[in-house]
Structure 1
Amino acid sequence: MLHFQRTYYLYGLAFLPVLAYLFYLVLAWKKRVSARIGDPDLVKQMTRNYHPRNFAIKFSLALVALALMVLGLANLQRKVGGKINRKGLDVMILLDVSNSMLAGDLQPTRLARAKQVVSRLLDDIPDDRVGLIIFAGHAYMNMPLSSDHAAAKMYLDAASPASVPTQGTSIGEALQLAQQMFNNKEKKYKSVVLITDGEDHDEEAPKAAAQLHGEGVVVHTIGLGSPTGAFIPDPSTGENKKDAEGNIIISKLNQSLLQDIAQKTDGTYQLYDNTDAVVSNLEKSLSEMGTQSYEDDNYAQYESYFFYFLWAALAVLVVEWCVPEKRQKKTAS
C-alpha cells in the first residue's frame, strides 16, 4: 500500500493557494496602475514587450514544480518486505529519576547504577518488546512498547532529574501509566521492571500494583540505596540538599514498599548489589514467564518514489525556463 513517509511535509502544499492568491493580487495591482496612467496608447507602448499569458504560464509552472518538490520531500513509498515473526514478552521499564537517585551510597550514583542495569537488560532480552517510563513527581512516557532497543538506550542515556519538571517519587502514577501501555485483552506475557529507591509514601502504589496483577502483569522491583540512607548532592551548589528548615535531607531506601508491590503481583524484589547478579536474576524471572508470538515491522523494507517527483519538478522548471517572459520580436520578411 502506498503512503507518505514524512506526512508533515505535506502541510507545505497549504502555501500554494496562498502564493496563487498573491499572484492574483499582483495582477490586479498591475491593472490598477495601468488604469491610473489613463492613456491606453501610452500603456500599450510601455508594455509592448510584456507577455501576460506567458507570465501566467511561467508562474503556474513554478507552482507545479514547488508542489512536486513538496511531494518528493514527503517521500511516497510502498512496503516491499513483510513483517518479521518474533517471540518475546512485553516489558515496561519504570525508571526513577528523582533527585534522591543522585545519592552516592551507590557509586557514582543510584541513577547511574540503575541505567547500567537497564542497559545490560536490554542487551539480554533482544526479542522482547520494551517501553520506558521515567518518573519523579509525575510519570512520563519516554517510549511505548517497541522492539527498537537502540532507541530505548538513547532515551535511557538522556534520562535525568532535569528530564522532569516536578520532583518527588510517584510510583503509583508510574504503575498506572504502565498499565495503559499493555494489551488488556492478554492476561499474560506482560511484565513491569520498577527501578527506584522507593521513597513514596502515598497509598497509590499498592493499589496500582493490585490493578496490574488483575490484568496479568508481573512487577519485578529493584531497590537502589541503603536503608540507613545517604545525602543528596545539589548539582547547582555542590552541597548536600536541605529541607525548608535547613536540615540536611537523608534519602533512605524503602524496601518494604518495593517488596509489597512485588508480592502483590507475584513478582520478585532485589536489593541492588552488583549489576551482573541483578540482571541475571531478572532475566531468569522473565524467561520463566514464557513468550508470545508477535509481528515486528520495525525491520520492514520500503521502496521509495521521491525521485520521480523531483525529476518531474526539474523537468517542469526546465520548461518554465524555456517559456519567454517577453514577446518575441517579429523579423521583417
Structure 2
Amino acid sequence: MLRFAHINFLWGLLAIPVFVLFFMQVSIWKKKAIKRLGDRAVVLRMMPDVSFSRPWLKFILFAVAYAMVIIGAADPQLGSKIEEVKRKGADLMILLDVSNSMLAQDLAPNRLDNAKRAISQLIDNLEGDRIGLIVFAGQAYVQLPITTDYSAAKLFLNTVNTNMVPTQGTAIGAAIEMGMKSFDFKNGTGKAMIVITDGENHEDDAVAAAKSAAGQDVSIHVIGVGSVDGAPIPQYQDGKQVGFIMDESNKQVLTKLNEEMCKEIAAAGEGSYVRATNANSGMNIVMDQIGKIQRKEVDSKSFRDYEDRFQIFIGIALVLLLVEFFISNRKSQRLSNLKLFEVKK
C-alpha cells in the first residue's frame, strides 16, 4: 500500500501547468519576434546554430525533475503488511484514588500527580501486558478498559483529575469490585490490581473485597501515597490555589496516610504493600511481585512500519537536472555535420 507522509506537498504539482503556459507564451513571443525580422526561412539561415527543439527538451526535463522533487518532498511510503506475532502478557488494572485528599502536597508536586507520573513510567515499561484504569473517590468509574494500546492509556491518564468523580470519599472496595467485573476470566492470563491511595477508606469494606478477589486468583497490591503525619488539602478556584480546606471549626483539614488500612488490603488480597516517597514511587517493587503471575501466549496482529521511498524521486530529479544543465540551447556542430540519411554520389 502506498501513502504519503506529507500529502499536502503534492499541491505543488499544480504549478506545472503554470510553467507550461509560461513557456508556451515565451515560445510564441520568440516566433513573432523572428517573423518581425523578415522571412522566417531567411532569418533561420542567418542563425544556423540556434536550436528550437532543445529548449523544449530542457523544459520537459526541468518540469519532470520539479515533479519528482515535489513527490519526494511528500515522502511516498510503502508497507502496511499485516503480520501475526506472538505475545505473552497478563492483565493489569490500576485503581487510582482521585479524592480531594490526593491533592495534598506531602509528595511533590502532590499525591495525585506523583501517582500519575509513576503510572506513566509503568506504561512505558510494559511489553505485551494489557492495562486498564479505574478512578475512584466516593464512587468508582472505568476510565480505560483493559487494552494493549499504551498510547491511549497515557492519553486517558493525562485527563485524570479530582473533579472527574462528583461524589467525594474513598470507596476502595467498590473500585476493586469494578476491577473484577472488568477482567475477562476466560482468557486464562494472570491478573492483578494495583491500588494507589492514601488509604482513607470511608465508604465500604475494602478488605473483604480484596479477600474476595484473591479467592479468584487476582492479587491486590497497594501503593500508599502521603505521610502519616498528615498534610492540608489545597483548595482551588479557577485553577489557582486560594487556600486550604477548612472544617466546621475553621481549622485546616489534615489528610493522613492510613498505612494500616493499606497493609490490611494488601494482605487480604495476597499482594504487596509499598509506601511511595518522592525518591521512589514503589511501582518497581510491586511490578517485581506481579512479574511472578502467569503470562499466557496469545495471538496478536501488528503492522509493519512504512518504509520511505523519497530517495528514489529525489535521485531521479538530480539526474534530470544534471542532464538539463549540460544540454546547450545551441545545435551541436558534430551532430549537424553528421548526415546519416544522405545518399553519397
Task: State whether TM-score is above 0.5.
Answer: yes
Map 1:177-196 onto structure 2 (within 5 A).
Answer: 177-185=178-186, 189-196=190-197
Change in Cα spacing, 1:298 to 1:103, as seen in structure 2 (3 Å) is: farther
Shift of the alpha carbon at 1:279? 2.6
Q: Which residue of structure 1 aligns with residue 286 of structure 2? A: 282
Map 1:40-59 onto structure 2 (within 5 A).
Answer: none
Q: Which residue of structure 2 aligns with residue 243 of structure 1? A: 247
The structure carrying a bigger helix percent of its residues is 1
Q: 1:123-151: CA deviations, max 9, x gaps?
A: 12221100001111111101111001111
Q: Answer yes or no: is the 8 Å Cα contact 1:206–1:260 preserved in 2.
A: yes
Instruction: Tell me the amino acid that sits aligned with residue 263 of structure 2.
Output: Q
Q: Which residue of structure 2 aligns with residue 216 of structure 1? A: 217
Give distance in 2, aligned partners of 1:224 and 1:271: 6
Matched residue SS, 1:169: coil
Give distance in 2, aligned partners of 1:213 and 1:234: 38
Shift of the alpha carbon at 1:290? 3.3
Matched residue SS, 2:119: helix
Q: Which residue of structure 2 aligns with residue 231 of structure 1? A: 232
Give distance in 2, aligned partners of 1:139 and 1:105: 24
Map 1:13-28 onto structure 2 (within 5 A).
Answer: none
Change in Cα spacing, 1:168 to 1:277, as seen in structure 2 (3 Å) is: closer
Q: Which stretch shows the higher mean deviation, 167-176 or 284-293?
A: 284-293
Q: Answer yes or no: is the 8 Å Cα contact 2:118–2:283 preserved in 1.
A: yes
Identity of aligned residues (%): 37
Q: Which residue of structure 2 aligns with residue 41 of structure 1? A: none
Q: Which residue of structure 2 aligns with residue 293 of structure 1? A: 297
Q: Answer yes or no: is the 8 Å Cα contact 2:169–2:202 preserved in 1.
A: no
Q: Answer yes or no: is the 8 Å Cα contact 2:86–2:300 preserved in 1.
A: yes
Q: Which stretch shows the higher mean deviation, 172-181 or 266-275?
A: 266-275
Q: Which stretch shows the higher mean deviation, 150-159 or 269-278?
A: 269-278
Shift of the alpha carbon at 1:80? 7.8
Q: Which runs of 5+ in 1 are unaligned?
A: 1-78, 302-333
Change in Cα spacing, 1:143 to 1:110, as seen in structure 2 (3 Å) is: same
Q: Which residue of structure 2 aligns with residue 54 of structure 1? A: none
Change in Cα spacing, 1:155 to 1:298, as seen in structure 2 (3 Å) is: farther
Q: Which residue of structure 1 aligns with residue 8 of structure 2? A: none
Q: Which residue of structure 2 aligns with residue 132 of structure 1? A: 133
Q: Which stretch shows the higher mean deviation, 105-114 or 275-284?
A: 275-284
Matched residue SS, 2:236: coil
Shift of the alpha carbon at 1:256? 1.0
Give distance in 1, aligned partners of 2:255 and 2:90: 34
Matched residue SS, 1:117: helix
Change in Cα spacing, 1:188 to 1:211, as seen in structure 2 (3 Å) is: farther
Change in Cα spacing, 1:232 to 1:277, as seen in structure 2 (3 Å) is: closer
Q: Which runs of 5+ in 2 are unaligned?
A: 1-79, 306-345
**Alignment length, in residue pairs?**
223
Instruction: Tell me the amino acid that sits aligned with residue 175 of structure 1.
Output: I
Give distance in 1, aligned partners of 2:89 and 2:128: 5
Matched residue SS, 2:288: helix
Q: 1:153-182: CA deviations, max 9, x gaps?
A: 111111001122221111111101000011
Q: Which stretch shows the higher mean deviation, 278-287 or 105-114?
A: 278-287
Which stretches of structure 1, 4 residues or more, deviate above 6 A after TM superposition? none
TM-score, normalization: structure 1? 0.62
Matched residue SS, 1:162: coil
Q: Pairwise CA RMSD of aligned residues?
A: 2.2
Q: Which residue of structure 2 aligns with residue 256 of structure 1? A: 260
Change in Cα spacing, 1:258 to 1:188, as seen in structure 2 (3 Å) is: farther
Q: 1:198-252: CA deviations, max 9, x gaps?
A: 1103442111111111111011100000111100000125111012443321101
- Does residue 1:199 correspond to 2:200, yes or no? yes
Give distance in 1, aligned partners of 2:138 and 2:204: 15
Change in Cα spacing, 1:277 to 1:81, as seen in structure 2 (3 Å) is: same
Larger Rg: 2
Instruction: Tell me the amino acid that sits aligned with residue 146 of structure 1.
Output: T
Q: Which residue of structure 1 aligns with residue 97 of structure 2? A: 96
Q: 1:259-308: CA deviations, max 9, x gaps?
A: 1111112200000024656132122112122311223347599xxxxxxx
Change in Cα spacing, 1:271 to 1:297, as seen in structure 2 (3 Å) is: same
Instruction: Tell me the amino acid that sits aligned with residue 242 of structure 1.
Output: M
TM-score, normalization: structure 2? 0.60
